[in-house]
Structure 1
């Protein structure tokens, strides 16, 4: 006798031997349970209604190529809901979950992320690193002025940065880095951390995105100089901050950005520039030739002070005749560029194509 139960998921009666529940049988012969069976290669299929004997049925898995094509038609993140179906989907789902490490805080979530990434099986899945240190105070605030005097906080942050440095160094497949720094006070301890990180993992990186104000670029620029020998794509975003940079600071930021870009000219194939208020024309004037450059995208207000005069951009394009894809976008006039936008609006600029080739 086999006791049966209803399956709420499929809506029909299943033998309890199939649903991993208790089985009561008159047959004294021990029967293989669902837990003893191979995970997805075999299942028991029975029909007690027709009085047929329970028999084994092998259900082969789909090839990875077919699963890959199926996933291409599904929305992003769908594979996470399919982790329990096959081993292939399990690996794909785990790769997606642990693909990116976000370094935002140094307590609670930040510590948990680093503790997880410490395991070799997880570290091997990391491909991207996102650094946006929310624990650094805003410039010209009371917290920024007293930051160096808080010894306990400095020790805690230093311990966290040391831990993250050791953990991220063990990620063999780390290839992408994004660093976001707005109008924040950047202490020596953080700029030193960023320099050590780039010295250790810079040779692995193929894509780097720098999203910083002029002051932040000046503070951490040395970390990116001569530390990216295999870089393929570099994106530079200079947003409009709360404080208008003085002319000497703007010139210094332009100079150090040019030094970073020129140090990667021998390998870079794609460049992306985005700016609101920062003069990209002066930056193009200082750039060397990029012999392997294939793609160039500029997101700025053409004709405004960001791309004025436009002849510097045209000269850069003519000099780099290897460019195959050229896109120039300008922002929608959500607010006057001369005015300081709200912080959340600044991060949601919409750029529309002005020119594209081919």
Structure 2
């Protein structure tokens, strides 16, 4: 007989059991039933029309199951594809598809179901399921090719109604042209995390600046008193400056991330970005700035970089990047400008990631010395940096100056590993008095210097 224990004890037991081994235990008792069902339905991905999604749609039209969903991710591109395919297919093919979907979208508790069409009925079934998901805390929606039809807007409105009080994190992916319709159906009371991804578009609309300033910025500012994490990413051809300049102060903002193309076409005025860092300097703990890729025509000239202007503004602004705990940042226009910013958080940083660059030996020493005064138990814990050299002295320096370091990622520029290996093999050959065997090769990985003309610029991951 299964002992009568509180459900939280069974949850503790289940935490040590792998998910696949947990599934057969669903019938042990009520606690394990809830544990298994929560694990199975707490996160739903509607990203591809396959058997798994059809099965989940049928089950999620049951309130007791839909109420277990906590995270919902939707990429509805396949609905538009189905609708377009239906218009091109012969009527007999549509009927066969309808019958196949009818058998799989049937409610579990009933023996009959109404006739179904393909794309339209999939969207209707998603809407029905969403209306029952009243406990969702994280919602991600990607709107690319789906037309803003009545059915589409009905689905989006259903999410607003169902998630209104429970939602904490909202992630939106869409081209700028779709954001107006998308934001009109989004309004949540207790939003804490917001991510806006402006996807690739084919051209720049003449009204894009007005849309950014008068529609998207007010939407973001509406949640300013509850949001503690904000991400803005863009692969669009538009200039994002009007949006950044129109954002207000967020009293509780702790994390800010921006993935942008820092050039005159996509961020003509970087002062708006600096303004965000300055206005929220008292609360910000984590900042991440990264370059995003924006597709462009090969015939079009590359726009002028605004990174030097941003570098100057960041190093000149007294309150930007102040007292941070986590910082991910490409090397600024000069190493000295980078160090000016790092000194503002020399007493507080625990995670530092310098990307898209490789440091010399002198620069590494100066970087490490910036944090060497910290005590062992409250110093830098994570360091990611690229180097144009590698010697034993590097590890001696890190061990003596950053003894509390728990995670170290070093990315080496092209040719560095080859020189190190050659030196080691030469030393071994000299000590052993024998020649290196032929026919064997050693393959080492190293960082690529990238397309930049700067001798120390490249790509380094965090």
TM-score, length basis structure 1: 0.63
Whether 2:151 is the aligned partner of 1:189: answer: yes
Q: Please say if residues 80 and 97 of structure 1, whose CA atoms lie closer than 8 Å, have aligned partners that are also in contact.
A: no
**Mind listing any 5+ residue stretches in structure 2 that lack a counterpart?**
99-115, 299-326, 331-341, 350-462
Given candidates 192, 195, 199, the residue that maps to 1:239 is 199
Partner of 2:215: 256
279, 285, 292: which is aligned to 2:245?
285
CA distance in 1, matches of 2:136, 2:248: 28
Judge conservation of contact 1:80–1:94 (CA < 8 Å) in 2. no
Give 1:294's aligned residue.
254
Distance in 2, Cα, partners of 1:221 & 1:318: 27
Q: State the distance in 1 between where 2:181 and 2:212 align.
A: 9
The alpha-carbon deviation at position 223 of structure 1 amounts to 0.8
Which range moved further: 112-121 or 264-273? 112-121
Distance 1:174 1:254, change over 3 A: same
> 2:126 & 2:146 partners in 1: Cα distance?
21
- SS of 2:134 mapped into structure 1: coil
Tell me how many residue pairs correspond in the alignment.
Answer: 274
Contact 1:268 1:293 in 2 (8 A): yes
Quick one: which of 44, 57, 61 aligns to 1:101? Answer: 44
Instruction: Name the CA shift for 1:328/1:62 in 2 (closer, same or farther; >3 Å).
Output: closer
Q: Give the corresponding residue for 1:32.
A: none
Distance in 2, Cα, partners of 1:65 & 1:99: 15
Where do 1:1-358 residues align within 5 Å?
A: 38=1, 63-64=9-10, 67=13, 70=16, 78-84=18-24, 91-104=34-47, 110-137=53-80, 143=84, 157-224=119-186, 227-241=187-201, 243-249=202-208, 251-253=210-212, 255-277=214-236, 278-303=238-263, 305-331=265-291, 337-339=295-297, 353-354=328-329, 358=349
Alpha-carbon spacing, 1:337–1:107, altered in 2? closer, same or farther (3 Å): closer
The Cα of 1:331 is off from its aligned counterpart by: 3.8
Deviation at 1:84, TM superposition (A): 3.4
Gaps of 5+ in 1: 1-37, 43-60, 72-77, 341-351
Aligned to 1:199, the other structure's residue is in SS state helix
Partner SS, residue 276 of structure 2: helix
Kindly indicate which of the two structures has a greater share of residues assigned to helix.
2
TM-score by length of 2: 0.50
Q: Distance in 1 between matches of 2:210 and 2:53?
A: 36
Partners of 1:84 and 1:156 lie apart in 2 by: 34
State the alpha-carbon separation in 1 of the partners of residues 291 and 133 from structure 2: 37
Distance in 2 between the 1:162 and 1:254 partners?
34
TM-superposed deviation, 1:162: 4.1
> Using the alignment, how far apart are the partners of 1:210 and 1:173 within structure 2?
19
- Judged with a 3 Å threshold, the aligned counterparts in structure 2 of structure 1 residues 217 and 69 are, in CA distance, closer, same or farther, namely same
CA-based RMSD: 3.8
CA contact (8 A) 2:38 2:68 kept: yes
1:328 match: secondary structure: strand
Aligned CA distance change for structure 1 residues 136 and 287 (closer, same or farther; 3 Å): same
**1:214–1:250 Cα contact (<8 Å) kept:** no
CA offset at residue 80 of structure 1? Answer: 3.2
How far apart are the structure 1 equivalents of 2:235 and 2:228? 24
| Shift of residue 107, structure 1, vs aligned partner | 8.5
